[in-house]
Structure 1
Amino acid sequence: MQFSNGDIFVGEVIGTAILILFGAGVCAAVTLNHSKAKAAGWIVIAFGWGFGVMAGAYTAAPLSGAHLNPAVTVGIATDTGDWDKVPLYILGQMVGAAIGAALTWLVYFAQFGANEQPTLGIFSTVPEIRNPVANLLTETIATVGLVLPILALGLTKGLGESGTTILIVSFLVVGIGLSLGGPTGYAINPARDLGPRIVHALLPIPHKGTSDWGYSWVPVAGPLIGAVLSGLIFNAAF
């Protein structure tokens, strides 16, 4: 299906904003004091991100096809060889991710106002063990676990038309979080990490701590490497 440039941008902005609102929102709910979901745990976070993918993708699909992730966009382009609209998709995703992060701050405005601890983990990923090589490998492998199945799902007729693909991908994201998210927090999406990290750096959150720009390249480079590998593997094997 062909989408207009305007629809692509608007769809990716809206869909990615919803994705981040749900995803960063569940992280805020579990992390911040005076939240009713305080300390609800990793399973809650994984499902929150999965539901965010589902809500954002169903919203954006009629407008843009709902990539919502530069890794998905790059993986598809690597497979098809069509790179013309890649910058437009990524621009929409970055803008949407920043909007979603800002909306999360507004939803939890009172809790952020009473904050007494670092908050970067609400907005972006933070590795449990800081090892750039290991962290990069984790993000690369986890992204292949996302993008390669997405490409393969396109081979099953009827899934896209029925909307079932989006539901399957949503549960795939939950599975990646549960199985592969422990080491780094599973960015698997450069916009999901970089856009909110920029917003975190700009927001006037008390005691928010560092935005950790020294690590910021890992959740961008790893998913992009994984995306290219996924496109190449799919092109060669299917």
Structure 2
Amino acid sequence: MFKKVLIVDDYDVVNEGVLTVLNTKGVINVEKAQYCDDAFLKLKKADLDKEPFDLLITDLSFKEDFHEGEILSGDELVIAVRGYGLTLPIIVYSMEDRLQRVRTLINKYNVNAYVCKGRRSSLELGQAILDIQDKKIFLSPQVQNALSPHASLEIQDYDINLINYLSQGLSQSDISTLLEQQNITPRSLSSIEKRLNKLKVDFKAKNVTHLVAIVKDLGLI
């Protein structure tokens, strides 16, 4: 059972809800932070004091206010935590349900659970805690496709942008011109066509329209 947990969320009502779930799981030693910089300092200090946290629960989005900081999002906090060398389990607890973002956090930064805020989030958060203790990854139903075979394909931000432009009705020629204006490479019409053909093969799409539909269904755009 987890003994020392840090909750990072800028809304008190969310913090209290998470605290209630932890208490039902027998976790009493819980600290809270409303800013990512403060959370990172708490984590580092606890590590230096040889009294480390053994679970981090963090939101991804934080509302801007007068407080200035270097770590402004939960994504950045996760990256900072892993970059510092802390290996404690991390639960992301967020309204965000874009699969590409979920996949990156799970596969690249070893996040252990991704719980979507909603009507069943308290139950799912409780289950996530149990699954992590059993060395399992937990994903809310809304984002379970993040680890599907299609979603695990190597798809880059460049690819996401191409498909997103297509979904907005832009032609490949329009996209080439737009990328040139943004000084993004590769931007030639032939390069864009080759990349889209590869994506069609990877996602088993019959045509570009089908590719856009598949990627939308997966929540990547």
Q: TM-score over 0.5 for the alignment? A: no
The higher relative CO (CA closer than 8 Å, separation ≥ 6) is in: 1
Structure with greater proportional strand content:
2
Give 1 or 2 for the bigger CA radius of gyration: 2
When the two structures are superposed, what TM-score results if normalisation uses the length of structure 1?
A: 0.21
